[in-house]
């Protein structure tokens, strides 16, 4: 059972905006550890999408944004495009486990 | 080009052992902590292990503690994951990942490990 909870799937029409949530607890997100997001195309390695809650690496479009509040974080994708139909994972650190932890992943479907 | 390349994956019998290697090119691996993350077929990402840049600190997920050993040879720009007492639950693609302030900024393509008789 993943430590961080994500919805298994979300969907939206092209051009719309979707939000993917990532819920943790007092030993990880709530303890102040940053949340990071990764995008994974089928059959490929994950790629860093958002780091330290709301920062985009070079080359990531500004359609992708992140936020964090309390024990949760969110990834917002605006202006949905067909190429966004991939899997997304959140990640943080858990001090009780002394380990890096992931969410279970969310599959985005562009209708 | 900045790359991480895993090798050493393959088919192994239950109870067997395997050693994965992770080689870096385009940058000096000794400047970074390195993680191993795995992904079982059709499943999500699972943290496996971490080694600090000097090798002085190592961490393991509970699921592999006592069976897996992470190490590195900075003279060879390489990190290793020695896996033993392998079971079907260890079947996965194993990714070598570079650490950047506790997030994973560079991923290898992965090495498939299949545990089956």
Q: Which of B47, B60, B61, B70 to mutate to test the interface with A (most CBs of A within 10 A)?
A: B47
> Are B108 and A45 in contact (CB < 8 Å)?
yes
Would you say A92 and A77 are in contact if contact means Cβ atoms under 8 Å apart? no
Taking one residue from A and the other from B, the number of pairs with CB-CB distance under 8 angstroms is: 56
**For residue range B8-25, what is the model confidence (pLDDT) as tens digits?**
999 999 999 999 999 999
pLDDT of residue B105: 95
Q: Which of A5, A45, A87, A94 to mutate to test the interface with B (most CBs of B within 10 A)?
A: A45
pLDDT of residue B47: 96
**For residue range B60-78, what is the model confidence (pLDDT) as tens digits?**
999 999 999 999 999 999 9
Query: Count of residues for chain A?
Result: 111
pLDDT band at B101 (very low <50, low <70, confident <90, very high): confident
Q: Is A37 on the interface with B (CB under 8 A)?
A: no
pLDDT band at B49 (very low <50, low <70, confident <90, very high): very high
Does the structure show a pLDDT above 90 at B7?
yes
The fraction of chain A above a pLDDT of 90, given in percent, is 99
pLDDT of residue B102: 87
Chain B's closest residue to A55, CA to CA, is B103
The fraction of chain B above a pLDDT of 90, given in percent, is 98
**For residue range A30-84, what is the model confidence (pLDDT) as tens digits?**
999 999 999 999 999 999 999 999 999 999 999 999 999 999 999 999 999 999 9
The fraction of chain B above a pLDDT of 70, given in percent, is 100
- Chain A CB contacts of B59 under 8 Å are 98-99
> Are A45 and B95 in contact (CB < 8 Å)?
yes
Does the structure show a pLDDT above 90 at A1?
no
3-state helix, strand, coil in chain A (%, to 5): 5, 50, 45
What residues contact residue A69 under an 8 Å CB cut-off, 6+ apart? Answer: none
Would you say B45 and B39 are in contact if contact means Cβ atoms under 8 Å apart? yes
Q: Is A101 on the interface with B (CB under 8 A)?
A: yes
According to DSSP, the residues that pair with A4 across neighbouring strands are A103
Q: Would you list which residues of chain B are within 8 Å, Cβ to Cβ, of chain A?
A: 35, 37, 44-47, 50, 59, 61-62, 95, 100-110
């Amino acid at each position: 059972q993943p430590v961080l909870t994500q919805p298994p799937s979300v969907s939206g029409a092209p051009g719309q905006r979707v939000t993917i949530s990532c819920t943790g607890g007092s030993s990880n997100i709530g303890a102040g550890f940053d949340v990071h997001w990764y995008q994974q195309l089928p059959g490929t390695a994950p790629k860093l999408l958002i780091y330290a809650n709301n920062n985009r690496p070079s080359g990531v479009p500004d359609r992708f944004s992140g936020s964090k509040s309390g024990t949760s974080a969110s990834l917002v994708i605006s202006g949905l495009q067909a190429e966004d139909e991939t899997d997304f994972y959140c990640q943080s650190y858990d001090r009780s486990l002394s380990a890096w932890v992931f969410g279970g992943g969310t599959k985005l479907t562009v209708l | 080009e900045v790359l991480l390349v895993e090798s050493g994956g393959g088919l192994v019998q239950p109870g067997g052992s395997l050693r994965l290697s992770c080689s870096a090119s385009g940058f000096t691996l000794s400047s970074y902590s390195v993680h191993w993350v795995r992904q079982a077929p059709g499943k999500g990402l699972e943290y496996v292990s971490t080694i600090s840049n000097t090798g002085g600190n190592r961490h393991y997920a509970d699921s592999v503690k006592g069976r897996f050993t992470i190490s590195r040879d900075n003279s060879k720009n390489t990190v290793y994951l020695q896996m033993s007492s392998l079971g079907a639950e260890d079947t996965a693609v194993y990714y070598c990942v570079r650490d950047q302030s506790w997030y994973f900024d560079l991923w290898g393509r992965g090495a498939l490990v299949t545990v089956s008789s």
